[in-house]
Amino acid sequence: MKILLVGSGGREHSLAWKISQSARPVTLFIAPGNGGTASLGQNIAIQDKDIAGLVAFAKEESIDLVVAGPELPLVLGLKDALAQVSIPCFGPDAFAAQLEGSKVFSKNVMNAAGVPTANFQVFEHYQKALDYVLTQPLPVVIKADGLAAGKGVIVATTLAEAQNALHEIMVERIFGAAGDQVIIEEALVGEEASFLAFCDGQNIVAMPSLQDHKRVGDNDTGPNTGGMGAYSPAPIVGPNQYETMANLCIRPILKHMADQGHPFVGILYAGIMMTKNGPMILEYN
């Protein structure tokens, strides 16, 4: 079996390590890969955003399965392009990948699917966003709409922090087009956890809960990153709660996406805040 693994990070090294342990004989290619993956398969000099290049390579090598690690190629339509040449890809199509690719899309889906989430407003203009912040209790959460490598969410505890975040995103454009829209939402109080599940569009297999830590500094200080570390299981979400979590934040999304004609296939990650009033969903990856 020939597998093409797309990505270049530690996640892809872990995936390559696990795929290489398959009981079925596997020829593994990683595009573009890294130093770690080089010992587990063959690195290919194609970037994860080069959809045409990835599809051409998959066709040329008669790849049996493509596994996408990062979200970017999925948002750019890797699965859709591979489907045109009848090559299966583990991951959602471009429409469903907007659950991570667009926070505005994701929040609207949550509302449509009846998934509990923080109250929010969407803004396209800096001054209107700033005027709104002035009417809200602090802290507030400010989110760039698009992909920002895990750094597009700012919890502003002062007006100065909120103004600076909005200015950086909407005026200085530090995230480029990802900042065309911003979400301003209420800050939820509680302990965070994450819940992931394998999805085939209708059915799920849940994984153990986990808790990941995104802030760059010790003791949860500093700006968010793509992730500094994680552990599993998360004590705050025990095995007896997995079915409840699945019914709360995974199955409603699967049903909604299927109803839209874009069944979600892949791994769906729900970021959860365990508040005193019950779990609230922060985001999907």
> Among candidates 127, 126, 170, 121, which has minimal Cα distance to 148?
170
Q: Give me the sign of the Cα torsion angle 142, 254, 109, 91.
A: positive
Nearest alpha carbon to residue 30 among 41, 22, 20: 41
- Among 150, 139, 128, 146, which Cα is nearest to 212's? 150
Give me the half-sphere count of Cα atoms (radius 13 Å) on the Cβ side of residue 200.
3
Contact 79, 101 (CB under 8 A): no
Phi, psi dihedral angles at 153 (to 5 degrees): -115, 125
Give the pair of three-digit tokens for residue 92. 């959602």
Angle at 107 between CA 105 and CA 113, to 5 degrees: 100
Q: Measured between alpha carbons, how far is 280 from 234 in angstroms, rounded to an integer?
A: 16
Helix and strand element counts for the chain (H, E): 10, 15
Count CB atoms within 10 A of the CB of residue 269.
Answer: 20
Residue pair 276/111 in contact by the 8 Å Cβ criterion: no
3 state DSSP class of 264: coil
Please, what are the domains in the chain? Answer: 2-91 (3.40.50.20), 120-186 (3.30.1490.20), 189-284 (3.30.470.20)
Phi-psi category of residue 201: left, alpha or beta, with phi > 0 → left and psi -120 to 50 → alpha: left
Q: Determine the pLDDT at residue 233.
A: 93
Using 50 as the pLDDT threshold, list the residues of the chain that sit under it.
Answer: none
Q: Is the Cβ–Cβ distance between 227 and 207 less than 8 Å?
A: no
pLDDT at residue 226 in the model: 75
C-beta neighbour count of 29 within 10 angstroms: 22
What are the tokens at 156?
């502003």
Q: Could you tell me if residue 16 is left (phi over 0), alpha (psi between -120 and 50 degrees) or otherwise beta?
A: alpha
* Structural tokens at position 207: 């994984």
Single-letter amino acid code for the residue at 66: V
> Average pLDDT over the chain, rounded to whole?
96
Q: What are the residues whose beta carbons fall under 8 Å from the beta carbon of 192, sequence distance 6 or more?
A: 211, 271, 272, 273, 274, 282
**CA–CA separation, 78 and 275 (whole Å):** 37
Structure tokens at 157: 């505890």
* pLDDT at residue 2 in the model: 98
